Amino acid sequence: MKLIVAKNYEEMSKLAAEFMAEEVKKKPEIILGLATGGTPVGMYKELIRMCDNKEVDFSKATTVNLDEYIGLSGEHNQSYRYFMNSNLFNHINIDKAKTFVPNGQALDVEAECKSYDARIRELGGIDLQLLGLGSNGHVAFNEPDTFLTVGSHETKLTQSTIEANARFFDSMDEVPKTAITMGLGGIMQAKKILVIANGEGKADVVEKLMNGKITTEVPASMLQMHRDVTIIVDEAAASKLNK
């Protein structure tokens, strides 16, 4: 795994955006795996700026997102479809028909998960997968557990994740308790992985990702088995790593 320590959030965001833009330049018809959350917002802003300046062109790219809350429509302002539209897709030259997010309102969640995985397969797999890290070690909504699931699946969010996500909702009760998430198998099949993390709250999980034992209790630790992972963190998130 390749670690890059940026000075701060702004620099992390810029480096991560440049990393992704470079991959898009190499392969304009790239399949990008994208993530939501607080961490990538700055990176997406930078990609929008680069796209405005014609430094990156998303017109041939396809995107697949990691997860979506069950029960929220794409119009709900806390759904991940809404997040992606408002933080990235509405502002870059991507064909929205080629942006995929699991359908949180699917009547048959299992069928939705199967077709999501089938779509990724039909696309030929993900070229570059962007990942944030949960402070509890989750990647996408693969939560710490005694087992992990290979394919996309319905998952129950842990209390710590519900609490972490409550900041985006008016009250804790409104935070969905279940989600559709890509599985660890889907994530590990990406050809390249880019992990971003910032702030002291991520220092423990970054340390475990870099140096910890591989365990389903820290799903991010699985990434140690992937052959092409780049981790871009700020100094605070790197603060528990041995200098």
113/133 with CB nearer ligand PGA: 133
Q: At what angle do helices 41-52 and 9-26 cross, to 10 degrees?
A: 50
> Which single residue brings its beta carbon nearest to ligand PGA?
37
Q: Is 143 a catalytic residue?
A: yes
39/79 with CB nearer ligand PGA: 39
Only segment of 21-29, 96-104, 127-135, 151-159 that touches ligand PGA (CB under 6 A)? 127-135
Q: Which of 33, 42, 104, 134 binds ligand PGA (CB under 6 A)?
A: 134
Q: What element of type H or E holds 120?
A: helix 109-122
Residue 100 CB, nearest approach to ligand PGA (Å) = 18
CA–CA separation, 83 and 103 (whole Å): 14
Only segment of 7-15, 36-44, 56-64, 144-152 that touches ligand PGA (CB under 6 A)? 36-44
Strands 128-131 and 192-197, sheet pairing: parallel
3/41 with CB nearer ligand PGA: 41
Q: Is 142 a catalytic residue?
A: no
Length of the chain in terms of residues written:
243
Residue 97: closest CA among 61, 128, 68: 61
Residue 17: closest CA among 44, 52, 41: 44
Q: Which of 9, 21, 37, 79 binds ligand PGA (CB under 6 A)?
A: 37
Residue type, 193: I
Which residues here bind ligand PGA, judged by CB under 6 A?
A: 37-39, 132-134
